[in-house]
Structure 1
């Protein structure tokens, strides 16, 4: 078992994100998960990400507030405990249109070519 305390989570900068603070909860550690990493993204009011895509799928779970997620001309608003999967290569955009901080749990496989450990 690999336990990592929230106070030990390290911030990270995600490309093409604005008004977002990301914390790496699990991953990129020798004793951590083998196939994916988990982040916690806190979107300030007006904050967002994209539009862009990645070569791997992502799973988003809204843990607080609400976030508008757009892909393929469709927009949905994720609220508390709502989730979605963004397929590899799909262009998406995320925006916090509220005046509250929105919190998103993000599960992403390691990048292609990443050697664990």
Structure 2
């Protein structure tokens, strides 16, 4: 078992995010998970990300507050304990339109490693 205490979580800058503080809860460390990593994102009012996509799927779980997810012009508001899967290569934008901080878990596989033989 690999335990990581919240005070030991390291902050990270997520590309194309604004008004957001990200903490890596698990992943990218010795003894940690081998297939995916888990982030804890705190979005200020007006904060968000995108529009962009990733070459792999990701899962969002809203712990507190609410987050508006926009895909192909369709808007879905996720509230406390709601979750969604964003498929690989799907362009999304997320926005915290509320006046409270949105706290969200993000689960994603590790990025593909370049093949040293190519």
Q: TM-score, structure 1 length as denominator? A: 0.96
**Segments of 4+ moved more than 4 angstroms:** none
The 5 Å alignment of 1:43-82 reads 43-82=43-82
The 5 Å alignment of 1:29-108 reads 29-108=29-108
Q: Which runs of 5+ in 2 are unaligned?
A: none
CA offset digits 1:43-101 (Å, max 9, x no partner): 00000100000000000000000010011221100000000000000000000001100
SS of 1:108's equivalent?
Answer: strand
Q: TM-score, structure 2 length as denominator? A: 0.95
Q: Which runs of 5+ in 1 are unaligned?
A: none
Q: Report the number of matched residues.
A: 115
Q: Highest Rg: 1 or 2?
A: 2
Question: CA-atom RMSD, angstroms?
Answer: 1.2
What is the distance in 2 between the residues matched to 1:28 and 1:55?
Answer: 18
